[in-house]
Amino acid sequence: MSSARKQGRARFAVQEERDGWLFAAPFVVGALAFVVFPLAYSVALVFLEWDLVRPPAFVGLANIRKLFQDPMVGTSLYNTAYYTFLGVPLHLLVALTLALALNARARGVSAYRTAFYLPSITPSVASAVIWLQILHPEFGMLNDAFEKLGISPQRWLFEPSLTKPAFILMSLWSIGPQMVIFLAGLQAVPEVLYEAAHADGASAWQRFRHVTLPLLTPTIFFNIVVGIIASFQVFTTSFMMTGGGPQNATLFMVLQIYYVAFSYSRFGYASAIAWILFLIVAGFTVLQFYIGRRWVYYETQL
């Protein structure tokens, strides 16, 4: 009886394992076909020269050496870094300010939250078309507002010194998700802590500085990590609105990868640039997690 029971358990275990693999098969096949294989193939492309017409030719480290000689790579990296390290802090500041304002228990606050979130779900192409009208140098809405204030119109998308600030301003259009995440973090702060601080005579600023901000650091950290990763991948707006101009002022790294691959048909070199971008983003992410240990406070640490 015991041996028959053991055999039954063994068959059941085999059947469970088989059923598990069957249920996981769609995900496993999809991951292998659309994630693992493309990643491995892109690594191989780094060492090849291929234009989709002629057979791939092995070039060794030539694509990597060219990275350090190509001035366009440096230009695109500078533009991306400018957009990231000025845009992400501004995003966080505006999103946190909006979240603090919309965290109040007031009538109609849900409508305001919805209004500020809606632009973030607008398709990128539609947003680019809208902002082309807003930033137009002759009949754009922004220059019309400037003229009413006595400020001379600006050539936002035609002046190299103004294009990146204009793109950063335009990116504030989509701070809805960050605002919602900050709202969730604010609403997770225990009300009893505010009551205790108020009873001790703490001012509104002191309550924000010593209660809200420390408990909000995990949310701030999350938004910083996600924001930097997303900003290094800016593509649609520059491709649709300026094509990387004027004078390569909006040639971001992903746009440079696109041009190298699909305009110049240099897929091996494009893969090399893409992997450099990946290593930069991964390096910044690891650095943020390392530095985050010093300033991010979780409930177990308080």
* pLDDT band at residue 199 using 50, 70 and 90 as cut-offs: confident
pLDDT band at 200 (very low <50, low <70, confident <90, very high): confident
Neighbouring residues of 47: CB distance < 8 A, sequence distance ≥ 6:
58, 59, 60, 61, 63, 268
Structure tokens given for 19: 């059923």
Q: How many CA atoms lie within 13 A of 111 on its CB side?
A: 3
pLDDT-derived band of residue 300, with 50, 70 and 90 as boundaries? low
In three-state secondary structure terms, 13 is: helix
61-101 residue pLDDT tens: 999 999 889 999 999 999 999 999 999 999 999 999 999 99
pLDDT for 143 equals 87
Looking at residue 210, its pLDDT comes to 87
pLDDT for residue 224: 94
**Percentage with pLDDT > 90 across the chain:** 51
Distance separating alpha carbons of residues 56 and 46, to the nearest angstrom: 11
H runs (alpha helix) in the chain = 2-31, 37-45, 62-67, 71-102, 109-117, 124-134, 141-148, 160-171, 176-187, 191-199, 204-207, 213-231, 236-241, 253-258, 267-295
Q: Domains in the chain, please, with CATH? A: 2-45 (no CATH), 64-301 (1.10.3720.10)
Residue 280: per-residue pLDDT: 94
Banded model confidence at residue 8, pLDDT cuts 50, 70, 90: low
Higher pLDDT, 300 or 163: 163
Which residues neighbour 23 within 8 Å (Cβ) at sequence distance 6 or greater? none
Number of other CB atoms surrounding residue 41 within 10 Å: 11
pTM of the predicted protein model: 0.87
Which residues are registered as beta bridge partners of 58? 48
Q: What is the pLDDT of residues 94-129, one digit of tens each?
A: 999 999 999 887 788 888 888 899 888 888 888 888
CA 170/CA 156 separation, integer angstroms:
11
Please tell me the distance from the alpha carbon of residue 196 to that of residue 191, in angstroms, as a whole number: 9
Answer whether residue 219 shows pLDDT above 90: yes
User: How confident is the model over 213-218, as a mean pLDDT?
Assistant: 91
Residue 163 has pLDDT above 90, yes or no: yes
At 223, the pLDDT band (50, 70, 90 cuts) reads very high
Q: pLDDT higher for 181 or 140?
A: 181
